[in-house]
Amino acid sequence: MAVPVGIEAAEGGRMATFVFIHGAGDVGWYWHLVAAELRERGYDTVAPDLPCDDDSAGLPEYADTVAAAADDRADLVVVAQSLGGFTAPLVCDRVPVALLVLVAPMIPAPGEAPAGYWSGTRYEQEVRERYDDAIALFYQDVPPELAAEALKRARGQSEARLGEPSPLRAWPDVSTRILICRDDRLCPPGFLRRVARERLGITPDEIDGGHTPALSRPHELADRLEAYAAGQGLIPTGRRRPSRPAAG
């Protein structure tokens, strides 16, 4: 959990723009509660819809869409959910990114195709429960009305180009945080702890909740993101500087 906000106000701080990347078959609306929370705190946010239902679009086009949405903004904090973890590092080649935050993520290896991720990470060897219902798998702790709206807004995820190797050659030289969810049924915490350690040498931070914390715990997630941004000196002038999230 996050520790209480500190008492020191930032003076002349640089303001982060949070650039949100949704997961497979989803839309930017997924982030709307977190984005609203951060805008109330004085930050800028963008959350584009990726062309994920377009058979002609692949990871480069996803990254181009995010970069275009960021436009000429500076001090970018790129926050990616699930499959968005494949797009996030590619964005760093297109716009200046100060911080990457991967939430309940897929963490790609250089040259890895999204379709090869599960075998490449030995996912099937993980001890986990199986769920066939989308609500039970993705939204078990999301308020029912929000879960229903999420399913209504969801789009089909084209798989036409998910078998193509990622153009990622090496992880970008950008500060990176991994945030995993202790009750995630798609990407169990033990699995993500191992993958984060093996691929990036990172020990993830953790919060309670399932795979979609932007809908189930938007305030807590916003607290985490603000603390990460503050750690990079990215906080609006006059905004009280939050303490770092507590470990675990």
Tell me the pTM.
0.91
Radius of gyration of the chain (CA): 17
What pLDDT band is residue 239 in, cutting at 50, 70 and 90? low
- Quote the percentage of the chain above a pLDDT of 90: 85
| Region 42-49 average pLDDT | 96
pLDDT at position 61, please?
A: 98
| Region 194-219 average pLDDT | 98
**Planar angle of CA 189, 195, 197, nearest 5 degrees:** 100
3 state DSSP class of 229: helix
- 35 Cβ neighbours under 8 A, 6+ residues apart: 18, 20, 45, 47
Q: Which of 109, 121, 111, 57 is nearest to 85 (CA)?
A: 109
Pair of tokens at residue 157: 């995820």
pLDDT above 90 (res 110): yes
Range with the lowest mean pLDDT among 3-12, 30-39, 83-92, 232-241? 3-12
Greater pLDDT, 3 or 115: 115
What pLDDT band is residue 240 in, cutting at 50, 70 and 90? low
Q: Which of 22, 57, 46, 161 is nearest to 95 (CA)?
A: 46
Q: Are 83 and 26 in contact (CB under 8 A)?
A: no
pLDDT above 50 (res 11): no
CA atoms within 13 A on the CB side of 127: 0
What pLDDT band is residue 238 in, cutting at 50, 70 and 90? low
pLDDT above 50 (res 59): yes
pLDDT at position 128, please?
A: 78
